[in-house]
Structure 1
Amino acid sequence: MLEILRRIVQEVNGARSLDAALSIIVRRIRKAMQTDVCSVYLRDDERDCFILMDTIGLNASAIGQVTLKPGEGLVGLVGQREEPLNIEEAPSHSHFRYFAETGEERYSSFLGVPIIHQRRVLGVLVVQQREKRQFGEGEEAFLITMAAQLAGVLVHALSTGALARLSDTGTQALLNGIAAAPGMAIGEAFVVVPSANLEAVPERVPDDIEAEVLRLREAIDCVRHDIRQAAERLASRISAQEQALFDVYQQMLGDAALGNEVEKRIREGQWAPYALSRVVQRHVNYLERVDDNYLRERAADIRDLGRRVLAHLQKDSNARKPVYPERTILVGDEISAAQLGEIPREKLAGLVALRGSSTSHVAILARAMGIPAVMGMNDLPISRLAGTPMIVDGYRGRLILRPQPDLLVRYESMIEEEKALTSMLESEQSLPSETSDGFRIRLMINTGLAVEMSGSPAARIDGVGLYRTEVPFMMHQRFPSEKEQTRIYREQLQGFAPLPVVMRTLDIGGDKSLPYFPIEEDNPFLGWRGIRVTLDHPEVLMVQLRAMLRAAEGLDNLRILLPMITSVEEVDTVSRLLDRAIQEMRDDGVQIERPLLGVMLEVPAVIYQLEALASRVDFFSVGSNDLIQYLLAVDRNNARVSALYDALQPAVLRALDHIARESRRLNVSASVCGELAGDPIGALLLMGMGYRVLSMNAPNLSRVRAAIRRVSMEGAQGLVSDVLALHSLTETRELVYQRMKEWELAHLLPPRD
């Protein structure tokens, strides 16, 4: 069964249309389970019903005609309950509904399972049989497994509007990912293609077919030459049998093999890279399905050859200057900062990436530039999206393909309202961040890139609450020297002097790695990251500490922050290294006082070590992003579970309140940096708990300042008291939103569904 399952999924993956995919599903499953009928019903969200999309066994004329509302009929019941239904005599069931056009009166047994992707019911998979019998446990388990495997494949197909025929009103498709940078944008997709990635080649119509054919032939000739040279270099070191493999490669590239087929597709209207990718993937999918082990292994050879030819094609095609749409939505598998920098700023409207996270380098840059971004779009078929109109909703982590006119109007209105709000809030930026009853809240910014400073004059803020030193490390091809680091840190310290600048020591690992110092682990967020890395490499930490101290000479605004602290031993070790670095500086004639030393509270274990830590450091900084992630055991960068990451969870709020109370008792200042501090609701809750210093990304300053200025400290404390008495996220969220409406602050919040 596992082998059958694998083959069906591979065939469906290789289907060129939704109709073809559904046809494969019903035919292969009926054959595998030896049933009389297999049908697939897909959900139409526009009409709120399940439509019979393909069947083998029922009357073909019923396809597209039979529809059932959730809860209607056996299929609707499966979709509504989101669980399998296995019955021996279907017509006797209370929910059975007869459709004369299907001819299903001939069948008694019924087994239906929901097709679910990320908690969303996409459809129902059904098998039926003439004889009265209940399907066995093994059969039910197989169909459930089949539906789970097909869910992602169907999302792919349904999200390409050219293939979908679920709704008569158009081909709009909605997908969810990770909200990486706030804001909303309407634009046109520009797909960036990784070098030699066969799965990510966009579909285009060539301007000159003969030129495309010539490009293909030249690329194949280049690969032939490369293979010939490789064979000659290895001739003395491999056997004749292995040498023959190179001859096989040459044959595969011949006109009778790949070359002719790709050329045929080009003449049918496809540009060379896309034609090549389709042909190669078709051969690979076929070879991976055959029973012969030797032929299955040849699939890897075909794939490798395809990548080699594609690399040569892209050398030529990439040399052409791209033409960007006026409102460019940059779409890619994994977008780099360099790709971001190639697009004129006035044309860049939004970002969408299959991979990446809210804390990735490009996400940080997008937030700093005010560009909406959605990442973790695992099920996005980017190869077919070039030129597709779309909406990027960076608040909800949502991408809407080919939006309907009414939705376009709605988003255009929200974008205009956001611009008006931004303009209004900008006029308040020179005003103090004080509550309506006179309590001052210090607002600081998180930086790491020069662009983040441009919109945040020092006069409007109280300093830098978090300077990410890993960003300069990422922009080098090696560890930056002490002299290079000193220059970078000096620019930051001077730029904000006399305001304090909190510099976090190198924080790599997790989802942040350096190109010259890769860290690959099965579970990186619980692995070698933060202070663990630098304590294992004291030579790196010492260079950084000396650079910070040297950069701070004569300024006295440096604060040092330690990431990922889990024990007092780690703090003691760093403290000794810091004292040693200070002494070395003084020996060199640099007059420097010991800067304030703080720790990030982001690992739950430190919540129970606050007293011991308070005797060793000068301040606490709550890293809300990681603290919430670890408290809830949710990887916020995993699109499958990111919706479970919520700062308003009662456990999170109680932990934050506990830290605030303990910090006051221990007389240690505590600030909060992270997404929560930059959210108007989060800022008011933190203020009510007793936090007086909040650090956030610069674009969030205006909304947070406006919220603080319109609420009293007494009101914020009352809100905290009320939410801490609640026990569910739903109750907490409703109370908070209701209070924001009462305070007339709802316009400061991100859009809600």
Structure 2
Amino acid sequence: MIRGVAVSPGVVVAKAYCLDEVFVQLPTAKLTAADISLELSRFQQACDGAADELKDLIETVSHDIGEPESAIFQAQLVMLRDRAFVDKVKTYIVESQEDAASCLHRTMREYEELFSKIEDEYLRERLVDLRDVVARVQHQLSEGSPPELPETDGPVIIVAEELLPSQTVRFDDIDIAGIATERGGQTSHAAIIARSMGIPAVSGIPKIRDQVSNGDTIALDGRQGCLIVNPGPEAEAAYRKLEREFFDLKDYLIENRDQLAVTRDGVAIELLANINTVEDAQAATDVGAQGIGLFRTEYLFMTHPGIPTEEEQFEAYAKTVNASPLGRLTIRTLDLGGDKTVPYLGDHREANPFMGWRSIRMSIEHPDFFRKQVRAILRAAAEGEVRMMFPMISTVEELRRVNRMVWQVEEQLDKDGIAHGKAQLGMMIEVPAAAVCIEHFLDHTDFVSVGTNDLIQYLMAADRDNSRVAHLCDPLNPASLCLLRQVIEACQRRGKPVSVCGEMAGRPRCVLALLAFGLTSFSMSPAFVPIVKELVHSLDFSLIRELGDEILLRRSSTQVGSFLDKVLQEVNPRLAALDVQHGV
């Protein structure tokens, strides 16, 4: 048995699908002598197409963002025009009589070996640019569609050293039953992706790629934080029984989709959903969410081949409003940086990107870029009840500045005679400084949403994606709970709507703590809406409210977790199976 960090509950048995293998090992096609000249021509056309794509991108980035930020694409264009690289691929096509894609990747592997021997760190990092060039040519070779991933026979467990947001774009056609990664903790992107899909996941497994091969059978327990590779017949049968029980419980809970989230003593609790796409918005409607509490707009930018135009953004936002439950949508402005990057905003390598130039700081530095998104959001606001939310606000000055920018855009839309709606403006509490001084911000915001994932990692000075310190980001640690209670109570005193949109909002034990502090609005992955609704139906709000002080008497996350375990067992013991085990 291999142990890691429990990040998304549930049990599953399926075949391993190792990302580094499937993304590199593409099938090779042998050519006849007559096909070689056609393949050479096809490769050259792909290179020309990639070059045209880069030229368009350089022009767009230079116009929309700035000349310096287009330098990375200019460098890639130089690489693409390097005769040594291009001629090497052509030579392999002729000599090996293999297809252009295979020869392209063969050449890429040779360059990777050469770059690995370079001592200069800056030059080594240029390999990233070369990989991007190869990806663009590959995209052209596949006639505008990404190369197909190997077919899978039934559901699979994704196995990877790390799972990045950009990689998930290609998962649409894969039946993913679970996720296992080496890096990451309970609020890592692998965990967030798993919870959004409602599937089990385990992270923090040392050297997982040395222990698992493509096609291995894996029994994965996302609640206990463990997995078994190629289990014996008895162990596999036991895990398959647990798997059936897990899915039977989820199927039972989905039946509450049309019921209101009201406690036994009549208190209404607002259950919203976190989404990335219009398809997610429809999923939120299907599970009975009451609106969208967080629409992550950065995924639109990360999956676009260039920079989304204002019209493209407007269409995406308008479709999402119309697909959202009750037409209620909270749109977060661009939250790039950290591990969510796009090359056209510059090649800014930082020692600690999560605490550097990211999110609203990036938007403020590129006002025209930011205003284009704001225009699209305001235009979409005419379609329904839309709110606009600013991420990673650190100071009152930042908040006032972005508010003014939105008001200026509204005035310009009026002058231009362009139809738009009126959006409430809110802020996310992710930076401890903003949480500590929450009272200073409340005069300048219509609502508050607490992003507990980032707030806790900043509060604890621990990278949530680093498995060696991710345990410090336990949401039940007393420091985090004290700060959350302070924010919730401050907002309620001032009559400002407040919700939690981090992963805490979908974990039954954490929900109990937040309810005890008086919170009545939660935004979570759609898959967790039925679970939290079932919890709400099982409790008396007035009795849970009496536990607030008692929770904070505990001096460690272990003590808090044990206390909430007992409360959950009393309220609804079945839901314990749908929460990760505390302390794992």
Shared topology, TM-score over 0.5?
Answer: yes
1:706 to 507, 521, 534: 534
1:458–1:496 CA contact under 8 A, matched in 2: no
1:639 to 1:589, Cα distance in 2 relative to 1, 3 A: same
Structure 1 counterpart SS, 2:450:
strand
CA apart distance, 1:444: 0.6
Unaligned runs of 5+ in 2: 45-83, 92-101
2:261 to 427, 430, 433: 433
2:188–2:465 CA contact under 8 A, matched in 1: no
After superposition, give the CA deviation of every residue in 1:521-543 in whole Å (9 maximum; x if it has no partner): 21011111111000011111100
Structure 2 counterpart SS, 1:476:
coil
CA distance in 2, matches of 1:319, 1:600: 38
CA distance in 1, matches of 2:211, 2:474: 33
CA apart distance, 1:673: 0.6
- Say whether 1:728 aligns with 2:559: no
Structure 2 counterpart SS, 1:417:
helix
CA apart distance, 1:398: 3.7
- Say whether 1:341 aligns with 2:172: yes
Structure 2 counterpart SS, 1:455:
helix
Aligned pairs for 1:373-392 within 5 A: 373-375=201-203, 377=205, 379-382=207-210, 385-392=213-220
CA distance in 1, matches of 2:342, 2:568: 42
1:192 to 1:619, Cα distance in 2 relative to 1, 3 A: closer
2:192–2:503 CA contact under 8 A, matched in 1: no
2:370 to 541, 552, 555: 541
- Corresponding residue for 1:185? 12
- Corresponding residue for 1:602? 430
- Corresponding residue for 1:648? 476
2:454 to 622, 626, 632: 626
CA distance in 2, matches of 1:371, 1:744: 21
1:436–1:712 CA contact under 8 A, matched in 2: yes
Q: Whose radius of gyration is greater, 1 or 2?
A: 1
Structure 2 counterpart SS, 1:391:
strand
2:216–2:229 CA contact under 8 A, matched in 1: yes
CA apart distance, 1:751: 5.6
CA distance in 2, matches of 1:384, 1:588: 59
1:580 to 1:196, Cα distance in 2 relative to 1, 3 A: closer
Aligned pairs for 1:57-68 within 5 A: none
- Corresponding residue for 1:525? 354
Aligned pairs for 1:323-338 within 5 A: 323-333=151-161, 336-338=167-169
1:413 to 1:383, Cα distance in 2 relative to 1, 3 A: closer
**One-letter amino acid of the structure 2 residue matched with residue 340 of structure 1:** F
- Corresponding residue for 2:60? none
CA distance in 1, matches of 2:207, 2:259: 45
**One-letter amino acid of the structure 1 residue matched with residue 276 of structure 2:** G
CA distance in 1, matches of 2:309, 2:282: 26
CA distance in 2, matches of 1:471, 1:503: 12
1:561–1:600 CA contact under 8 A, matched in 2: yes
CA distance in 1, matches of 2:148, 2:370: 44
1:440 to 1:719, Cα distance in 2 relative to 1, 3 A: same
Structure 2 counterpart SS, 1:661:
helix
CA distance in 1, matches of 2:288, 2:365: 39
**One-letter amino acid of the structure 2 residue matched with residue 350 of structure 1:** G
- Say whether 1:551 aligns with 2:383: no
CA apart distance, 1:359: 7.0
Structure 2 counterpart SS, 1:573:
helix
CA distance in 1, matches of 2:6, 2:441: 34
1:523 to 1:391, Cα distance in 2 relative to 1, 3 A: same
Greater helix share, 1 or 2? 2
1:175–1:399 CA contact under 8 A, matched in 2: yes
Structure 1 counterpart SS, 2:12:
strand
1:736 to 1:366, Cα distance in 2 relative to 1, 3 A: closer
Among the aligned pairs, what percent are the same residue?
Answer: 32
- Corresponding residue for 1:164? none
2:275–2:294 CA contact under 8 A, matched in 1: yes
Q: Which moved more, 1:486-495 or 1:182-191?
A: 182-191
1:747 to 1:404, Cα distance in 2 relative to 1, 3 A: farther
CA apart distance, 1:579: 0.8
1:410 to 1:686, Cα distance in 2 relative to 1, 3 A: same
Structure 1 counterpart SS, 2:546:
helix
CA distance in 2, matches of 1:362, 1:730: 24
1:497 to 1:384, Cα distance in 2 relative to 1, 3 A: closer
CA apart distance, 1:178: 7.1
- Over the aligned positions, Cα root-mean-square deviation in angstroms equals 4.3
1:332–1:382 CA contact under 8 A, matched in 2: no
CA distance in 1, matches of 2:334, 2:312: 15
- Say whether 1:681 aligns with 2:509: yes
Structure 1 counterpart SS, 2:277:
coil
1:622–1:672 CA contact under 8 A, matched in 2: yes
Aligned pairs for 1:458-497 within 5 A: 460-496=288-324
- Corresponding residue for 1:500? 328
**One-letter amino acid of the structure 1 residue matched with residue 172 of structure 2:** G
After superposition, give the CA deviation of every residue in 1:13-34 in whole Å (9 maximum; x if it has no partner): xxxxxxxxxxxxxxxxxxxxxx
CA apart distance, 1:351: 3.2
TM-score normalized by the length of structure 2: 0.75
Aligned residues, how many?
Answer: 500
- Corresponding residue for 1:615? 443
**One-letter amino acid of the structure 2 residue matched with residue 341 of structure 1:** D
- Say whether 1:409 aligns with 2:240: no
After superposition, give the CA deviation of every residue in 1:294-351 in whole Å (9 maximum; x if it has no partner): 9x99xx99xx9xx99xx9xxx99x98983523342233455623542343x3xx3233
Structure 2 counterpart SS, 1:633:
coil
CA apart distance, 1:655: 0.8
CA distance in 2, matches of 1:683, 1:177: 20
**One-letter amino acid of the structure 2 residue matched with residue 183 of structure 1:** G
TM-score normalized by the length of structure 1: 0.59
CA apart distance, 1:364: 5.2
Q: Which moved more, 1:371-380 or 1:614-623?
A: 371-380
